Amino acid sequence: MSEVCGFSIDEYCVKVKDFHGGNLAPGLIIAGFMVDLACRNLPENTLFEVICETPSCIPDAVQLLTPCTAGNQWMHIIDVGRYALSVYDKYSGEGVRVHLNPSKLKKWAAIEEWFFRLKPKSEQDTQEILKQAIEAGTSILDIEKVTITPEYLVKKKKKSVSICPVCNEAYPSNYGALCPACRDDCLPYISETEHMRTA
Ligand code: ZN
């Protein structure tokens, strides 16, 4: 019997229903298998982040099954409309990308109808789509190795802090030899600051 990130399918369906006000969406079942396949192909104990290529369904499955959320910024959504996600080592960028392969849907008519929106929602047989999604599991997916660009990686080096020689205040060292306020003379103050007593 297939599992999703250590949960039985029944357990996962309960989690999805709790999360979605009792509604079991086929997209979340497929997305659950996508997260499962991706995470199983990362080395154990990898500190990872996730990129979702669509804002639909996949981000919810990621938030249900991993520590990555939009709020902690370990999950990134780039809306290019593809049913895909990448899971990667947050320091090295090494990881895997999983996507739904449309050519693998031939033997799953109900999933195909749902995925390509061949029928209006009211005419779709949701139970049959769910049944096929669970039966199909990871067999309708593709997985490939990827390396993520540096802008999505966490820099290991802690940024150091300097004291500006002009204003004697602290700022991140990587801004240069002076703090940007002194360097660019861009502050919104009309007159020189007059120092006042603090105690
Ligand atoms: Zn300064």
Mean pLDDT score of the chain, rounded to an integer? Answer: 92
**Which residue pairs from 60-63 have beta carbons closer than 8 angstroms and sit at least 24 positions apart in sequence?**
60/19, 60/20, 60/28, 60/31, 61/28, 61/31, 61/32, 61/34, 61/35, 62/31, 62/35
Question: pTM surpassing 0.95?
Answer: no
Separation of CA 178 and ligand 1 centre (Å)? 6
Question: Is residue 158 scored above 80 in pLDDT?
Answer: no
Question: What is the reported pLDDT for 195?
Answer: 80
Separation of CA 166 and ligand 1 centre (Å)? 5
The fraction of the chain above a pLDDT of 90, given in percent, is 73
Q: What are phi and psi of 36, to 5 degrees?
A: -60, -50
Question: What is the reported pLDDT for 185?
Answer: 79
Separation of CA 185 and ligand 1 centre (Å)? 9
pLDDT band (50, 70, 90) for residue 156? low
Separation of CA 153 and ligand 1 centre (Å)? 30
Separation of CA 161 and ligand 1 centre (Å)? 13
Separation of CA 171 and ligand 1 centre (Å)? 8
Separation of CA 159 and ligand 1 centre (Å)? 18
Rounded Cα distance, 9 and 118, in Å: 27
Separation of CA 39 and ligand 1 centre (Å)? 46
Domains of the chain and any CATH numbers: 3-152 (3.30.1330.130), 159-192 (3.30.60.80)
Separation of CA 155 and ligand 1 centre (Å)? 26
Question: Is residue 159 scored above 80 in pLDDT?
Answer: no
The fraction of the chain above a pLDDT of 70, given in percent, is 97
pLDDT tens-place string over residues 68-127: 999 898 999 999 999 999 999 999 999 999 999 999 999 999 999 999 999 898 899 999
pLDDT tens-place string over residues 25-77: 999 999 999 999 999 999 999 999 999 999 999 999 999 999 999 989 899 99
pLDDT band (50, 70, 90) for residue 190? confident
Separation of CA 170 and ligand 1 centre (Å)? 8
pLDDT band (50, 70, 90) for residue 193? low
